Amino acid sequence: MRRGPRPPDSRGYLDSTPYSYVSVKEAQNEPEKYLPDGTQRKTFAQLAREAYYWPRIIMQPIKRKGHVVTDVCTVDGKIERWTFTKTHDKQAYRDARKASWGDLFPHLPKTSIERSHFTPVEGPTPEELKKMNRKQRRSLMDFDD
């Protein structure tokens, strides 16, 4: 800003103060109908229908260097342990690292193992457990992997 000659009685702080204006307008654009790879973007209704068939993460993912292990409940009601590696699918690996307990998970794993010891099995009642000694109770907790 350029200053001119000042009269002797003025303080001069108004004409030397810098200022600027910013004008902002919200865009009224529709979201893009196509993704960068050329495929059509799915609507919310389509995703909601697909999500009905996605498995749900039932335990916090185990994060290791280069892979993530998650336990999921499939649509069939089976408990499976899924492994996602960085080299197999980077997007699935990243999503698995960011996932949390209770999330729906749309990706397919590199490997899956059915976890049969998670299925409910009839066992002793609480009264029977109280009557057992420590060794007998521990033998109930031994699982075959």
Strands in the chain per DSSP E? 56-57, 62-64, 67-73, 79-85, 111-114
* Alpha carbons 135 and 126: distance in angstroms, whole number: 16
In DSSP terms, 67 is beta-bridged to 64, 85
* Alpha carbons 89 and 107: distance in angstroms, whole number: 9
* Alpha carbons 105 and 57: distance in angstroms, whole number: 7
pTM listed for this prediction: 0.53
Nearest to 57 by CA among 103, 124, 4, 120: 103
Model confidence pLDDT, tens digit, residues 54-107: 899 998 899 988 899 999 998 888 889 999 998 888 888 999 999 988 898 888
Residue 116 has pLDDT above 60, yes or no: yes
